[in-house]
């Protein structure tokens, strides 16, 4: 029996392994989880774990654009010492494709882009909103932004972003849609200051793969170790290859719902909902109308995606080396949400990829695609039902069996890379001498 170990070699697991000295078990053959980079040459389909020697490949992220925002100063210092970091000021907006209308993010602070009549109506509604308790995200959106802005953007966008869950889930992550009548009024007539949790962000100059590899060098990490079951009575973890390992305590970064299921445990409340995301990474020839933004939100698209991000607008190192100076190519990620676990068939994914490429071409964002590479993120965004105690009960139940959940998915909360690393260091240090 092992005194303890860490399940999951994402950024939380890597930092927990470094702080605790416990071994880390990772299902894949590389570290980082969804926060890792990979490379694909133009016109090819093979994923490379490292950039080819000639540099002629697109760089993508497993889970779409993972930029490092916020974070404890000590954690940010650790990141800078581990890998050189670039610092970026956010450029993002909302794209109404049917109108060919661009509005900077956040939309509610740039109402002048929507026209005087709509802006006046939206401001009138926002000024008459009353402070009412909102049980669902839908109610929170209506109570924060009013009917006009909800019909224009917030409702159709959240229908896509939450795969329809916004009508039944509790409000959360309000900082993603910062409100305030004062800034809305200011933005209706002149420029408003940038607001939000990701005004500035960091990104490793050599890619997330360089950061996670260096983090992994500070751990004892075992790859290809996919967990299939946890026997809480025998206190043993069973792996896909048929092996098993006993434990006294576990630090687990795997999704809370999946861990509960693998442990054969349940609580007396409905499981919290989640959304899966199909990330489509695209490398292609840059179109004449391709924006300079880092990402755009979309309330209505023919293919059903809700966000398009432009890796290479953050840093041209995402492009094949021959295009980095010219900027004639573009590296893109496209996100489409699904109800949790409802993965489409491969043929449907192929059709969807073709539809996305055609839509991006119609907008002038790309001329043609050289790489179209999909990744399914099964547990991508986690949510809760109003007044639910499922998460708290699940965490306590697992703790009773010596399983301590850490990180974004382990603790069923939205947070960025820096906060996930902080969680790993904190939990790992607690188990250093266990």
Tell me, letter by letter, the H, E, C secondary structure of 127-138. Answer: HCCCCCCCCCHH
pLDDT in tens, the chain (434 residues): 567 899 999 999 999 999 999 999 999 999 999 999 999 999 999 999 999 999 999 999 999 999 999 888 999 999 999 999 999 999 999 999 999 999 999 999 999 999 999 999 999 999 988 767 889 999 999 999 999 999 999 999 999 999 999 999 999 876 666 668 888 999 999 988 888 778 899 999 999 999 999 999 999 999 999 999 999 999 999 999 999 999 999 999 999 999 999 999 999 999 999 999 999 999 999 999 999 999 999 999 999 999 999 999 999 999 999 999 999 999 999 999 999 999 999 999 999 999 999 999 999 999 999 999 999 999 999 999 999 999 999 999 999 999 999 999 999 999 999 999 999 999 999 988 75
Backbone angles phi, psi at 303, to 5 degrees: -85, -10
Residue 284's pLDDT is what? 98
Neighbours of 127 (CB within 10 A): 11
- Judge whether 67 and 314 are in contact, CB under 8 Å: yes
- The β-bridge relationship of strands 274-286 and 244-252 is unpaired
Residue 179's pLDDT is what? 66
Residue 71's pLDDT is what? 86
Pair of tokens at residue 259 = 């861990």
Which H or E element spans position 76?
helix 73-82
What are the residues whose beta carbons fall under 8 Å from the beta carbon of 17, sequence distance 6 or more?
6, 9, 23, 24, 218, 219, 220, 221, 424, 428
**Predicted TM-score (pTM) of this structure:** 0.95
DSSP H helices in 217-334:
256-262, 311-314
The domain limits of the chain are 107-189
Residue 344's pLDDT is what? 97
Residue showing tokens 């049980």: 135
């Amino acid at each position: 029996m092992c005194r303890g170990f860490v399940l999951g070699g994402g950024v939380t697991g890597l930092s927990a392994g470094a702080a605790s000295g416990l071994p880390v078990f990772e299902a894949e053959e590389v570290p980082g989880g969804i926060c890792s980079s990979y490379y694909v040459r133009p016109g090819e389909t093979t994923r490379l774990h490292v950039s080819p020697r000639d540099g002629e490949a697109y760089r993508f992220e497993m889970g779409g654009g993972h930029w490092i925002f916020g974070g404890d100063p000590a954690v940010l210092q650790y990141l800078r010492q581990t890998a050189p970091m670039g610092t970026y000021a956010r450029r993002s907006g909302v794209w109404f494709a049917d109108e060919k209308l661009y509005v900077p993010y956040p939309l509610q602070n740039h109402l002048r882009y929507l026209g005087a009549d709509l802006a006046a109506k939206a401001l009138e509604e926002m000024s008459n909103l009353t402070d009412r308790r909102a049980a669902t995200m839908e109610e929170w959106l209506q109570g924060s932004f009013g009917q006009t802005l909800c019909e224009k953007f917030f409702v159709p966008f959240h229908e896509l972003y939450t795969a329809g869950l916004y009508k039944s889930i509790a409000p959360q992550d309000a900082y993603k849609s910062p409100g305030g009548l004062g800034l809305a009024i200011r933005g209706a007539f002149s420029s408003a200051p940038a607001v939000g949790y990701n005004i500035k962000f960091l990104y490793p100059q050599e890619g997330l793969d360089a950061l996670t590899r260096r983090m992994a060098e500070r751990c004892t990490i075992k790859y290809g170790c996919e967990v299939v079951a946890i026997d809480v009575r025998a206190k043993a973890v069973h792996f896909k290859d048929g092996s098993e390992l006993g434990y006294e305590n576990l630090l687990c970064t795997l999704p809370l719902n999946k861990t509960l299921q693998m442990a054969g445990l349940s609580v007396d409340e409905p499981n919290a909902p989640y959304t899966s995301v199909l990330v489509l990474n695209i490398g292609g020839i840059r179109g004449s109308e391709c924006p300079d933004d880092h990402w755009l939100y979309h309330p209505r698209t023919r293919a059903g995606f809700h966000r398009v991000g432009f890796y290479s607008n953050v840093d041209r190192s995402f492009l094949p080396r021959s295009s980095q100076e010219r900027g004639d190519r573009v590296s893109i990620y496209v996100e489409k949400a699904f109800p949790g676990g409802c993965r489409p068939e491969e043929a449907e994914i192929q059709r969807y990829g073709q539809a996305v490429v055609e839509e991006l071409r119609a907008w002038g964002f790309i001329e043609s695609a050289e790489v179209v590479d999909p990744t399914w993120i099964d547990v991508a965004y986690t949510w809760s039902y109003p007044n639910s105690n499922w998460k708290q009960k699940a965490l306590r139940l697992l703790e009773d069996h010596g399983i301590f959940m850490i990180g974004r998915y382990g603790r069923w909360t939205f947070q960025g890379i820096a906060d996930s690393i902080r969680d790993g260091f904190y939990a790992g240090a607690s188990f250093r001498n266990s």
